[in-house]
Amino acid sequence: MQARTGGRVILLFDQFEEFFTYPTEQQGELRRQLAEMLYTAIPQSIRNRMSELSPAERNHLVAPLDVKVLFSIRADRLSLLDSMKVDLPDILHRRYELRPLSPEQAKTAMVRPASLHDKEFVTEPFGYTDVAIEKVVQHLLDPITGGVEAFLLQVVCLSIESRIEGGLLRGRIADPFPKVDASDWPPLENIMDDYYHQQIAKITPAELRPQAYRLIEDRLMFVHPETGETRRLSVDSRTLQAPQFLLDSLENQFLLRREANALGGYNYELCHDRLLEPALTSRAKWMEQEDLKAAEQAAAERIRQVQELQRVADLERNRRRRANVLAIVAVVGLVVAAVAGILAIQQRNEAVRQQEVAEKAKIEAEAQRNVANDALQKIINARKEKIQNQIKLDEEAGFIQSATNNKAILAIVDSLQKSGTSLNKILIELEK
CA dist., res. 326 & res. 348, Å (int): 8
The answer to whether position 207 is within a domain reads: yes
The answer to whether position 96 is within a domain reads: no
**For residue 400, how many other CB atoms are within 10 A of its CB?**
10
CA dist., res. 293 & res. 75, Å (int): 46
The number of domains in the chain is 4
| Amino acid (1-letter code) at residue 96 | Y
Looking at the fold, whether 213 and 172 belong to one and the same domain comes out as no
Looking at the fold, whether 132 and 242 belong to one and the same domain comes out as no
The answer to whether position 246 is within a domain reads: yes
Mean pLDDT of 337-364: 74
Dihedral sign, Cα of residue 47, residue 48, residue 51, residue 54: negative
The answer to whether position 276 is within a domain reads: no
Q: How close are the terminal C-alpha atoms of the chain, in Å?
A: 64
- Give the pLDDT band of residue 311 (cuts 50, 70, 90): confident
The answer to whether position 1 is within a domain reads: no
Looking at the fold, whether 198 and 130 belong to one and the same domain comes out as no
- The phi and psi torsions of 8 (rounded to 5 degrees) equal -115, 135
User: Judging by DSSP bridges, how do beta strands 127-128 and 66-71 pair with one another?
Assistant: unpaired
Looking at the fold, whether 318 and 385 belong to one and the same domain comes out as yes
User: Which tens digit of pLDDT belongs to each residue from 147-195?
Assistant: 999 989 999 998 899 889 989 998 888 888 999 999 998 888 888 999 9
The answer to whether position 145 is within a domain reads: yes
Name which of 40-44, 339-343, 385-389, 419-423 the model is least confident about. Answer: 339-343
Looking at the fold, whether 207 and 178 belong to one and the same domain comes out as no
Who has greater pLDDT, 219 or 52?
Answer: 219
The packing angle between helices 191-201 and 276-336, to 10°, is 80
The domain of 377 spans 294-431
Looking at the fold, whether 79 and 108 belong to one and the same domain comes out as no
Looking at the fold, whether 385 and 404 belong to one and the same domain comes out as yes
- The phi and psi torsions of 271 (rounded to 5 degrees) equal -80, -10
Looking at the fold, whether 175 and 253 belong to one and the same domain comes out as no
Looking at the fold, whether 137 and 219 belong to one and the same domain comes out as no
H/E segment holding residue 197: helix 191-201
End position of a domain, from candidates 49, 84, 119: 84
Looking at the fold, whether 241 and 182 belong to one and the same domain comes out as no
Is the full-model pTM beyond 0.85?
A: no
The answer to whether position 98 is within a domain reads: no
Q: CA of 160: how far to CAs of 60, 110, 164, in Å?
A: 47, 11, 6
The mean pLDDT of the chain is 85
| CATH number of 217's domain | 1.10.10
